[in-house]
Amino acid sequence: MRLFEIGGRFTTSGETRGAGLAWAGTAGPDHWSGGARDVDFFDVKGIVELTCAALGVTPRFAPATEPYLVDGQTASVIAPTGTVVGIVGQVAPSIADARGLPRQDRVFVAELNLDAIDAARRVAEDRIRALPRHPFVVRDLSIIVADVLPAEIIRGTIQAAGEGQGAPLVAIEFFDRYQGKGVPDGSVSLSVRLTFQAPDRTLTDADVQQSFDQILAALVREHGAVQR
């Protein structure tokens, strides 16, 4: 079951335009390669990312706490301006029970402030940059870390380490998350794609390797990461 609604909403700060969604049950239809799996936090987080991208904003996420959502399965949606523009998470079982929702299904929800997203988009459009003239270089990195470590903390560590000497880091993209055979209990394997690009020169292999090594060293030092 997947539902969404767009409309006006009223809070103590006045009326704003909002978008809300709810998702419960399976993440997709049955497939010959295996049975259907239940929806999880990352499915709904992906919908929020796609929605924000369609509205011209690239969000980041930070752990959050709300009385109606499950701790550890809740995150604030933050625009590049630093403004909180939404929330995503799993509905707390007590709330689900009070509304007669099936106990066997976890319910995930998200809400976005469309006015705040629109304001953040307009701020981003005011920043004009010249198109890059030099090619970019992409390197993939896979690490094993504790499964309770938020991806945004890892992103922050990578971003800070990428500001050192070597090749400038211009993009960070998580593209795989795996738990299972070969990964210790309580840990998760994450794969991240790093894009390097300099505005004034073509990067050398040595430039990229220096930045890559700095990022890996920071992940090992700060989070005990193990490279796969």
Give the pLDDT confidence of 151-208 residue by residue, as tens digits: 778 888 898 888 878 889 988 888 888 888 889 999 999 999 999 998 888 999 999 9
Cα-trace Rg, the chain? 20
Write out the E strands in the chain: 2-11, 14-24, 60-63, 69-78, 84-91, 107-113, 137-146, 169-178, 187-196, 226-227
Domain ranges of the chain: 2-125, 137-227
Query: Which residue is it, tokens 């593209």?
Result: 175
Rounded CA gap, 188 and 190, in Å?
Answer: 6
Find the range with the poorest average confidence among 128-132, 144-148, 183-187: 128-132
What whole-number percentage of the chain has pLDDT above 70?
Answer: 93
Statement: residue 125 has pLDDT above 60: no
Statement: residue 84 has pLDDT above 70: yes
Per-residue tokens: 197: 């690009």
Statement: residue 129 has pLDDT above 70: no
Between the two ends of the chain, the Cα-to-Cα distance in Å is 37
Per-residue tokens: 5: 């609604």
Q: How confident is the model at residue 124 (pLDDT cuts 50, 70, 90)?
A: low
Rounded CA gap, 205 and 38, in Å?
Answer: 43
Q: What residues have CB less than 8 Å from 212, skipping those under 6 apart?
A: 139, 141, 194
Statement: residue 114 has pLDDT above 70: yes
Give me the helices (H) in the chain, please: 41-54, 93-98, 114-125, 151-161, 205-223
- pLDDT of 178 reads 87
Rounded CA gap, 177 and 154, in Å?
Answer: 13
Contact 87, 75 (CB under 8 A): yes
Give the pLDDT confidence of 20-32 residue by residue, as tens digits: 999 988 887 666 6
Statement: residue 212 has pLDDT above 90: yes
Higher pLDDT, 103 or 7: 7
CATH number of 2-125: 3.30.930.10
Statement: residue 126 has pLDDT above 60: no
Tell me the residue type at 145.
V
Statement: residue 69 has pLDDT above 80: yes
Residue 155: C-alpha distances to residues 66, 147, 195, 219 (Å): 23, 15, 13, 10
- pLDDT of 33 reads 62
Helix (H, G, I), strand (E, B) or coil at 161: helix
CATH number of 137-227: 3.30.70.380
